[in-house]
Amino acid sequence: MLTSGKTAQKTLKNRIKCSGIGLHSGAKVTMTLNPAAPDTGVVFRRVDLPGQPLVRARYDQVTDLRLCSTVSAGEGVSVGTVEHLMAAFAGLGVDNVVVEIDGPEVPVMDGSSAPFVFLIECADLIDQVAPRRYLKVLKPVEVRDGQATAALLPDDDFSIAFEIDFPNPMIGRQAAEFYLAPGRFKADLARARTFGFVQEVEQLRAMGLARGGSLENAVVLGADRILNDDGLRYDDEFVRHKALDALGDLYLAGGPILGRYEGCRSGHALNNRLLHALFADKSAFAWTTYPKSRETLPSRTAELVRSAELGSRIRAAAEASF
């Protein structure tokens, strides 16, 4: 059974396999999640390449950030679109796993993290005899690119605040805040799908992107309507998916974060820059274990916290853009 404890590292109890296509490559892929020893972290193994090379899922291994996060161990040895799988690992507390994959990209499945949550639940999790290591944010770190900002702030737990603003009337301006208490990731973020605009499809495919995209694995928007027959899974599915992406990008830090993430119009590239900025300042972070005594304390909230009134930084950034 999945456990909610915060002190012990966790891995899968059993190996489990899935197949699908890559969102951007369009390639057919088979992927197997395998148990791993303590302190392994998240590691990909390209079983289709000579020697089955390993690729570590870390922020400093990221080599391509065009509409996804791609990690690489050298030329020709990479794994793309890792963020939805990484978000599932982060949301369910998977510390150690070896992901065997026979292609260049994690299968997109339905465009969300929900299928990966299902796989992990089927495989089950077990505690390991090693303490879980957390990346504790000690002081604010922020990066900016025009109107987009991303920041990490000190906190005793982990939360995400995100704001987006798109000219498409189906999206517009959305803001939400999430505190991922045990069980909340599956309910509040996991089912939120990636999205795109029908008028951009040809341009993206000319760039070698979105070749596997379809109404089966993305929310597709026209000028004035959503093209998917089943509509949206959440009223604010778009900002929830951006928060899901951020969670996956941040798990490339090498462990769970104790801190607050605030993003305004941020994306994969800015999220990666944020981790680089954090690790460049040794006074801004510390690796720590989670005090056992705190596990018995009541959560500061048991439910999803959502608010258009985000922190002062994210609001200041949003207001400065108008």
Catalytic residue ranges: 268
> Which single residue is written with the structure tokens 């939805």?
84
d(CA 25, CA 249) in angstroms, rounded, equals 20
Task: Provide DSSP, 167-199.
Answer: SSTTT-EEEEEEE--TTHHHHHTTTPPPEEEGG
Fill in the DSSP letter of residue 76. T
d(CA 281, CA 298) in angstroms, rounded, equals 33
- 181: phi then psi, degrees, rounded to nearest 5: -65, 160
What the block records as the tokens of 236 is: 């604010």
d(CA 186, CA 287) in angstroms, rounded, equals 26
Q: Please report, to the nearest 10 degrees, the dihedral formed by the alpha carbons of residues 321, 241, 271, 140 taken in order.
A: 70
d(CA 68, CA 66) in angstroms, rounded, equals 5
Give the 3-state secondary structure of 5-45.
Answer: CCCEEEEECCCEEEEEEECCCCCEEEEEEEECCCCCCEEEE
d(CA 116, CA 257) in angstroms, rounded, equals 21
- 9: phi then psi, degrees, rounded to nearest 5: -65, 155
Half-sphere exposure of 89 (CA within 13 A, CB side): 31
| Strand segments (E) across 225-272 | 257-264
Fill in the DSSP letter of residue 4. -
What the block records as the tokens of 72 is: 């690489």
